[in-house]
Amino acid sequence: MKAVLAIGGSDSSCGAGLARDLAVIAAHGLTARICVTAVTAQGAGGVTASHPLPPDLIAAQIAAAGPVAAIKTGMLANATVIESVIAALRALPDAPLVIDPVLRASSGAALLDTAGVAALRKLFPRAALLTPNRPEAEALTGETTPDAQAAVLMRQGAKAVLIKGGHADGADATDLLFAATGCHSFNAPRLPGTRRGTGCTLATAIVCGLAQGQGLEQAVAAAKAYLTAWWRG
């Protein structure tokens, strides 16, 4: 069975982070490998504690993963973690990487520090896809339109960028995929309420599609349908 490597933080409430990733990978019939970058305590009060793991432990987890079909990063905490991820991923050059550029929890707490944001850009050239939401795309680029945001992120090395529309307005949540083949739009009705872990769920479902041999557009479309079904479920 093909394996997917999820690199990210644990959320003690299991609403987001690696616990969510594992549920999505299992639902796609794939095997999971994980690399825990940070341990967080989260509950009704938001993020109440967060602790990054040492770089040698991060490198060791990735080295122990063995061959994997695709890789996803979520919470990376700080620049030291990112440097060790970049170095360790050199041993897995062929597996496509999807970066979910997690900056904050929905409660507002930072999940990547300021130096980490600068270091994250060094990982972009390794990425098959970056999946920022609108606030993340704006924070990473200083630009306000998806076209300009994607152009900056692709200049910084990302091969493709999916700007998610969950934080925008309108009856539909429209995600825009910018890739070498042009811009593609993915629509789904905006669902009522809020859910934790939506970003993790979408990015991991895309990674699962890539691991199963789907092309980027097909993987995004399937992941969006998966997210909608999970939200409604």
Q: Could you list the residues that contact ligand PLP (CB under 6 A)? A: 8-9, 11, 15-17, 40, 74-75, 100, 102, 105-107, 111, 196-197, 199-200
In angstroms, give the least distance from the CB of 46 to ligand PLP: 8
Give 9 or 52: the residue with its C-beta nearer to ligand PLP: 9
Q: How far apart are CA 102 and CA 160, in angstroms?
A: 17
Neighbouring CB atoms inside 10 A of 1's CB total 6
Residue with tokens 């904050």: 104
Q: How far apart are CA 85 and CA 39, in angstroms?
A: 16
In angstroms, give the least distance from the CB of 180 to ligand PLP: 27
In angstroms, give the least distance from the CB of 190 to ligand PLP: 17
CB-closest chain residue to ligand PLP: 17
Give the single-character DSSP code of 16: S
Q: How far apart are CA 146 and CA 183, in angstroms?
A: 10
Give 4 or 105: the residue with its C-beta nearer to ligand PLP: 105
Please report, for the chain, how many H helices and E strands are present, in that order. Answer: 8, 9
In angstroms, give the least distance from the CB of 195 to ligand PLP: 7
Give 107 or 114: the residue with its C-beta nearer to ligand PLP: 107
Give 43 or 213: the residue with its C-beta nearer to ligand PLP: 43
C-alpha to C-alpha distances, 215 to 27, 137, 180, 222, nearest whole angstrom: 19, 23, 13, 11
Give 90 or 232: the residue with its C-beta nearer to ligand PLP: 232
In angstroms, give the least distance from the CB of 8 to ligand PLP: 5
C-alpha to C-alpha distances, 108 to 39, 46, 48, 105, nearest whole angstrom: 17, 8, 12, 5
